[in-house]
Chains A and B, each alone.
Chain A
Amino acid sequence: MSGFLTYLVRRLVAAVITLLGVILVMVLLVRALPGDPARIIAGLQATPEQVEKIRVSMGLDQSVPVQYWRYLVNLAHGSLGTSASFGTTVLSEIGHRLPYTIVLAVLGTLFGAIFGIALGVLAATHKGRWVDAFGSMLGVAGISMPVYWLGILLIVLFSVMLKLLPIGGADTPSSLVMPTITLGVFSMAVVSRMTRSTMLDTLDQDYVRTVRAKGVPERVAVRHALRNAFIPILTVIGLQFGTLLGGAVLTETVFSWPGIGQLLVQSIDNRDFPLVQGIVFVFAAMFIVLNIVTDLLYSVVDPRVRLYR
């Protein structure tokens, strides 16, 4: 158990260093804004006083190390600064929107995992047949599909032509259908490709052959194989979560889904960099935490996996 704790601490330290790096990158990028960053963030109509206020509140009147340090101190006090366009705290803006993004990301991941695994298993158990060929086509098409175009196609079909689903927003549960599919298709494609190749490996293992030799129904053999194919599949689900968050920015924009992805695009349009910094930080933190959780899940799914030496 102590080995496990050491492992966890090491991972968390690495995660904190990465996040410190992410913040440093964002601080440097704001400094790199062409011209006067404070003026750009305050906007063209801002009075000199407003510009000065932004300059002081963001620490742009200080040196980079001081500004960086102050951002970290504020963060330690639970503050990500003040939004330049809303005038409220960055944290409260993100707090309102984050649940929407999490719901969408979880549903998209579930959609991708369920249909991806099903498709991959079908392809592997019907290798070389039309189901397999169809699955491969769907797989490569899925990773090549621009999420924004897929979203638009769904809107044209289900909202404009069939008038079945709301075009956007988050008013009814049915508002979730199209964003979930749009976001989940990429994961589905990646997961199905991975599931197929690992299932082909495990279906060939001795223990599966033994189970088959005992004359159990084929689906029992498949279940045995799937259990052991699970680790690479889980890795892929974890790894593509970053891509999923990137896709969330576009999906939320297409469907006016009120999550932090849409907020990010808005704050870029408004040149509201305190808010941009905060959202990027949250995205990075979510990605890093999920990677650690994925690694921890391995050892639950397969006790043979040793996370630490």
Chain B
Amino acid sequence: MSSIPAVGEAPSAPEATRASLRKFRTFARNKGAMIGIFILLVFALAAIFAPLLSPYDPTAQDLSSAFLAPSMAHPFGTDDLGQDILARIMYGGRYTLAIGAVAVSIAAIVGVPFGLISGYFGGATDMVIQRVTDILLSFNPFLLALVLVAVFGVGIDTVTIAAGIGVIPQFIRLARGQALTLREEVYVEAAIAFGESSLAILGRHVLRNALTPIIVYATLNIGVTILVAAGLGFLGLGVQPPTPEWGTMLGTARSFIFKASYQLTFPGLAIFLAVLSFNLVGDGLRDAFDPSLRD
């Protein structure tokens, strides 16, 4: 805890490094964020080592063991086709976590450049991009993804892309705001004076300094894309069975709400915990690295 160097002692690290070290320490002390990371690690390890951890094939149907309530052999019970629910949740993490991460990456890769350009150049470019953003925003993420899936069909690829497109406008907004502030910074003015091209300035200075809020935002939005993708699955418009996606499992189990409500407990809990973890980690990152983003 000796973050303040003693008098006369040379600073052991450059100022910037020490500042970021302090931020990391703030993050590491955030209990919620650490719980989130722990839960995500459990999900990730379960997804990676599922074949070693579970004796069951997640898509092996055995009608003679359908609708078994939770027991030692099947801790989470079995579904209507006799598939082991625990195995399906472990394997299902592969899909849910991948869909969330890929969807947010798509949204950031598409949305951030548009937002930066919009905020940095202003004028007519800004107006056009803002109008398009308004149009996409008035759909809201879930509705936009729902309509896209309705047109382009169900399946893991379309669902991932649709969930990603759903949150693109959020990234345009964020990046635009960042560019608006950063373009007033001295180092950007200096770069302009040195005759650097706008593209170079955007990439080298603006993007680099906007990266922290973008990463914080991406973490918080993984939760949103997971909820959207699982919501589509719940409606039967997402990843299709027998693929063990959590939302799809929940949608199938809905028909058996009287007969076997345990089938509805665990897939829902898994979605909730995954989204909760990303939100806790995102909150922690925000509080430590960019408190200005708070609500």
Contacts and interface: CB of A to CB of B under 8 A. Distances in A.
Interface of A: 14, 17-19, 21-22, 25-26, 29-30, 32-34, 140-141, 143-149, 152-153, 155-156, 160, 167, 193-194, 197, 232, 236, 242-243, 245-247, 249-250, 253-254, 264-265, 268, 276, 280, 283-284, 287-288
A83 B71 CA distance: 49
A199 to B, nearest CB: 12
Given A29-B151, A155-B257, A268-B150, A140 B276 contact: yes
Interface in B59-96: none
B223 to A, nearest CB: 6
Contacts of B147: 26, 29, 276, 280
B140 A146 contact: no
A189 to B, nearest CB: 10
Contacts of A153: 264, 268
B264 A156 contact: yes
B195 to A, nearest CB: 35
A143 B143 CA distance: 18
Given A140-B276, A144-B279, A250-B234, A245 B140 contact: yes
Contacts of B283: 140
B261 interface: yes
23 contacts: A18-B131, A19-B138, A22-B138, A25-B135, A26-B147, A32-B151, A32-B152, A140-B280, A141-B276, A146-B234, A146-B275, A147-B231, A148-B234, A148-B247, A148-B250, A148-B268, A149-B268, A160-B257, A197-B295, A243-B140, A253-B235, A276-B150, A280-B147
Given A140-B283, A242-B138, A249-B146, A148 B151 contact: no
Contact of A143 (B151, B250, B268, B279): B279
| Interface of chain B: mostly helix, strand, loop or mixed | helix
Given A141-B276, A146-B234, A280-B143, 8 more contacts: A14-B134, A25-B139, A149-B268, A236-B295, A246-B141, A246-B142, A265-B235, A284-B139
Contacts of A247: 142
Contact of A156 (B135, B237, B257, B280): B257
A23 to B, nearest CB: 10
B230 A156 contact: no
Contacts of B247: 146, 148
Interface residues of B, number: 44
Contact of A246 (B143, B150, B250, B294): B143
State the majority secondary structure of interface residues on A.
helix
Contacts of A246: 140-143
A73 B230 CA distance: 38
Central interface residue in B139, B153, B271, by most chain A CB within 10 Å: B139
Contacts of A194: 295
A250 B268 contact: no
A200 B142 CA distance: 32
A170 to B, nearest CB: 19
A152 B250 contact: yes
Given A194-B295, A242-B137, A253-B235, A17 B131 contact: yes
B155 interface: no
Nearest to B130: A14
B32 interface: yes
A287 B257 contact: no
Contacts of A30: 151
A190 to B, nearest CB: 9
Given A152-B254, A242-B137, A250-B231, A33 B151 contact: yes
Contact of A140 (B32, B237, B264): B32
Nearest to B223: A144
Nearest to A280: B147
B276 A144 contact: yes
A145 B231 CA distance: 11
Given A144-B275, A156-B257, A197-B294, A245 B231 contact: no
Contacts of A152: 250, 254, 257, 264, 268
B132 interface: yes
B272 interface: yes
A146 B138 contact: no
A167 B257 CA distance: 10
Contacts of A146: 227, 230-231, 234, 247, 250, 268, 271-272, 275
A268 B162 CA distance: 15
B258 interface: yes
Interface string B227-271: 100110011010000000001001000100110010010001101
A283 B231 CA distance: 18
B279 A140 contact: yes
Nearest to A193: B295
Nearest to A271: B150
Contacts of A284: 138-139
